[in-house]
């Protein structure tokens, strides 16, 4: 019943079925095939992707008929990048840090350790240098990306033991992708990048001993608490993980200005809505994890944070040295983060700190 309630109102289609609107005759509509890294009806991320696909058809009044395929229905979860770059499908919905093996600069447009929050990454990608740098990097692969979702600051993850020092990470088998995974690797962890639909089975079987996912709202439905007792808040790895709707560049360029505007509007709407949805529900589901499942909520101590921070600095240096464009992306992000972060700390930061102190929040 909980799952049905969660999915109520979501735009769900069957595999490969066009999400139709009646205003435009099918013979005159354009088909937009979208592949996703998330399983169908997947709580949070998967439902968000399906909602976005449906919204494109709705906003276009049927002029763009979206055909949505969840992970494994057309191609594997981590194969969507190549599927769209090749032109076999028109777009994917996913997280670009899954493909750091193709270029480490892609991670900056999802999340990097100790990086940008929701407000900061959107400022950079929509009003700062991030937009032009993202375009330049994705041009190498024949792609064009749009922000299309955000999880906010993610939890540190699920562990089957307490993490009281950096030494506790040595030898730990953990699912954590992107540059955050490289940080933990430097601290001695053994990291892997698994699609969301494969995490639970690997955690329960013991193939991995820890995992990060999203936050309480999404994590509650994943049932990681059946295999890991300790839930750490405030992870360093994804302070504002941005998801993307990435199109084949040739296909995107062939659209009319109106069609591109409609797809952009739908993507940015879902980009905001997914974040607001998680913000509205994370507190409720954190309480449920504690009260219903007996989960122990923990925070990393300063020694662990500091060790991660030192490792992150090494990862940034190595990533920037990868290529000329990687260096420019890193430098731009670092500069913007300091500018945005200073303003946020002096205004929102001071306000939230004192509001929470006065009203005993947190």
DSSP secondary structure letters along 11-38 = ----TT-EE--TTS-GGGPEEEEEEESS
Q: Please tell me the predicted confidence (pLDDT) of residue 223.
A: 96
Q: Is 360 left (phi over 0), alpha (psi -120 to 50) or beta?
A: left
- Which residues is 143 bridged to in the sheet? 248
d(CA 357, CA 355): 5
Q: Which residues of 96-120 are buried (b: 16+ CB within 10 A; e: fewer)?
A: bbbbbeebbbbbbbbbbbbbbbbeb
CA distances, 129 to each of 120, 150, 328 (Å) = 12, 19, 10
Per-residue pLDDT of the chain (362 residues; tens, 9 = 90+): 344 443 344 433 434 544 444 445 556 799 999 999 999 999 899 999 999 999 999 999 999 999 999 999 999 999 999 999 999 999 999 999 999 999 999 999 999 999 999 999 999 999 999 999 999 999 999 999 999 999 999 999 999 999 999 999 999 999 999 999 999 999 999 999 999 999 999 999 999 999 999 999 999 999 999 999 999 999 999 999 999 999 999 999 999 999 999 999 999 999 999 999 999 999 999 999 999 999 999 999 999 999 999 999 999 999 999 999 999 999 999 999 999 999 999 999 999 999 999 999 98
d(CA 239, CA 232): 14
Q: Please tell me the predicted confidence (pLDDT) of residue 28.
A: 79
HSE-up of residue 351 (Cα within 13 Å, Cβ side): 4
d(CA 269, CA 259): 15
d(CA 21, CA 7): 21
d(CA 216, CA 156): 11
Q: Please tell me the predicted confidence (pLDDT) of residue 1.
A: 39
Angle between helices 324-344 and 130-139 (to 10 degrees): 160
d(CA 36, CA 91): 9
d(CA 193, CA 173): 11
């Amino acid at each position: 019943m909980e799952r049905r309630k969660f999915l109520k109102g979501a735009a769900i289609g069957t595999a490969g079925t066009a999400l139709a609107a009646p205003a435009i005759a099918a013979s005159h509509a354009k088909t937009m095939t979208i592949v996703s890294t998330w399983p169908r009806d997947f709580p949070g991320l998967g439902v968000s992707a399906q909602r976005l696909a449906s919204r494109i058809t709705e906003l276009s009044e049927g002029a763009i008929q979206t055909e949505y395929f969840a992970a494994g229905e057309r191609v594997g979860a981590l194969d969507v990048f190549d599927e769209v770059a090749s032109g076999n499908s028109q777009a994917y919905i996913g997280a670009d840090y899954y493909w750091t093996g193709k270029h480490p600069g892609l991670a900056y447009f999802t999340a990097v350790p100790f990086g940008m929050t929701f407000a900061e990454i959107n400022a950079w990608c929509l009003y700062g240098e991030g937009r032009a740098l993202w375009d330049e990097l994705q041009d190498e692969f024949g792609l064009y990306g749009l922000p299309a979702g955000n999880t906010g600051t993610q939890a540190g993850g699920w562990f089957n033991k307490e993490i009281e020092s950096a030494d506790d990470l040595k030898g730990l088998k953990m699912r954590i992708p992107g540059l955050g995974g490289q940080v933990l690797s430097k601290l001695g962890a053994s990291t892997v990048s698994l699609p969301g639909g494969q995490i639970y089975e690997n955690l329960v079987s013991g193939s991995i001993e820890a995992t990060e996912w999203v936050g309480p709202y999404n994590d509650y439905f994943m049932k990681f608490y059946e295999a890991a007792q300790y839930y750490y808040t405030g992870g360093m790895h994804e302070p504002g993980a941005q998801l993307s709707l990435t199109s084949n560049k040739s296909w995107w360029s062939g659209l009319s200005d109106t069609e591109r505007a409609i797809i952009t509007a739908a993507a940015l709407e879902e980009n905001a809505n997914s974040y607001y949805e998680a913000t509205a529900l994370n507190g409720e589901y954190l309480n449920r994890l504690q009260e219903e499942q007996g989960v122990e909520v923990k925070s990393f101590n300063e020694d662990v944070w500091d060790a991660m921070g030192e490792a992150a600095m090494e990862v940034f240096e190595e990533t920037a040295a990868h290529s000329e464009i990687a260096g420019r992306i890193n430098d731009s992000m670092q500069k913007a983060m300091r500018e945005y972060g200073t303003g946020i700390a002096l205004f929102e930061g001071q306000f939230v700190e004192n509001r929470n102190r006065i009203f005993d929040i947190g």
